[in-house]
Amino acid sequence: MTGALGLDADEVRGVLVAAGLAPSLNNAQPWRFRVERDRIEVHADPARRLPATDPDDRELRLACGAALFGIRLALRAHGIRPLVTLLPGPEYPGALAVVRRGGSQALDDRTRALIAAMPARRTNREPFRDAPVPVAHRQALVHAAERERSWLHVVTDRDERALVHRLVAKAHGVQAADPAVRAEMAAWTADGGVRDEWVLRDSHAAERPPGEDHGSAPLTVVLSSFYDGPQAGLQSGQALQRVLLTATALGLAASFLSQPIEVRPVRDELRRALGGGLVPQAVLRVGFGSPVPPAPRRPVEDLLCDTGLSTRP
């Protein structure tokens, strides 16, 4: 491993480890990095695409954007101001993003809290506790998305929540009938049943009696971009990770309801339900969760582009 951006090899390794803590659909970890003296490039790992579940690489770009946010934070921990170019063009073949050194920047308390949250963040895998999310926490999550030029819609209306969860169930039905999606999930996840279990549990949550909606536990939120396309996906991935880390720093946990994002006609329905202008990128539930063990991560050596500098002799 070489040094980069003024960091030595061990520090660069730490930056890549931090990036690799990002969430990804089926924990596929579909990112790779190229390290050069003056930059770190983020690439997709084509061997880790999920063509049946994510045919347009939409969620792959979300995950790579989340990993990019990890690089940004890890550089901030070293006092470096990261300078990011999304989709930098043919000069950097295949790169989704390039990160350079944009000078020095002192660490503020909020960023420090996000850095501390990186190793602690987990996707919640147990029922949420029945404790409402305080309004101030909700506002912090919305603000986190705004900081990354994205929009976090908090579903507080009972009918709207029921609609979102109907769309989850509908998309789940489509995917459950698709052997390619089922095979992909079985191949990538240890138990293959995590999503099914969550869909049912969350659909039941939509049937709660009225009166529980305001500050209900957990919240249903939709992260959206203002436009569509690969750049919006990378932007939303950074927003996703900022929202998730903000949640972690506040003692909250989140889980994903990705089915209505993955099934295109259902995504269109969700988009129309949100007013048509915004592009839904992720549906999350956020609340107070239970401790979850860390999901396995790839060793740093496997995260380097083949054609890039290698840690191997």
Ligand X SMILES: Cc1cc2nc3c(=O)[nH]c(=O)nc-3n(C[C@H](O)[C@H](O)[C@H](O)COP(=O)(O)O)c2cc1C
Residues that bind ligand X (CB under 6 A): 23-27, 59, 62-63, 122-123, 194-195, 198, 255-256, 258, 282, 295
Closer residue to ligand X (CB): 33 or 101 = 33
Ramachandran region, residue 41 (left: φ > 0; alpha: ψ -120 to 50; beta: rest)? beta
Give min distance, CB of 8 to ligand X, in A.
27
Cβ contact 138:100 at 8 Å: no
Bridge partner list, 254: 123, 286
State whether residue 125 is helix, strand or coil.
coil
Torsion of CA 94, 97, 103, 105, to 10 degrees: -150
Q: Please report how close the Cβ of residue 191 comes to ligand X at its closest, in angstroms.
A: 11
CB of 90 to ligand X, least distance (A): 27
**Rg (the chain; Cα; Å):** 19
Which residue in 256, 250, 23 sits closest to 142, CA to CA? Answer: 250
User: Nearest distance from residue 122's CB to ligand X, in Å?
Assistant: 4
C-alpha span between 164 and 154 (Å, rounded):
11
Q: Is the Cβ of residue 63 or residue 304 nearer to ligand X in the bound state?
A: 63
Q: Which is nearer to ligand X, 142 or 295 (CB)?
A: 295
Taking CB atoms, the residue at the shortest distance from ligand X is 23
Task: Please state the φ and ψ torsions of residue 53, each to the nearest 5 degrees.
Answer: -80, -35
In this complex, which beta carbon is closest to ligand X, that of residue 87 or of residue 295? 295
Rounded to a whole number of angstroms, the minimum distance from the CB of residue 62 to ligand X is: 4
Closer residue to ligand X (CB): 195 or 271: 195
Q: How far apart are CA 165 and CA 173, in angstroms?
A: 12
Q: In angstroms, give the least distance from the CB of 29 to ligand X.
A: 8
The nearer residue to ligand X, 101 or 281, going by C-beta atoms, is 281
CB closer to ligand X out of 3 and 229: 229
> Is the distance from CB of 70 to CB of 131 less than 8 angstroms?
no
Q: Note if the bond before 260 is cis, omega within 30 degrees.
A: no
Q: How many CB atoms lie within 10 A of CB 299?
A: 9
Rounded to the nearest whole angstrom, what is the least distance from the CB of residue 303 to ligand X in the complex? 15
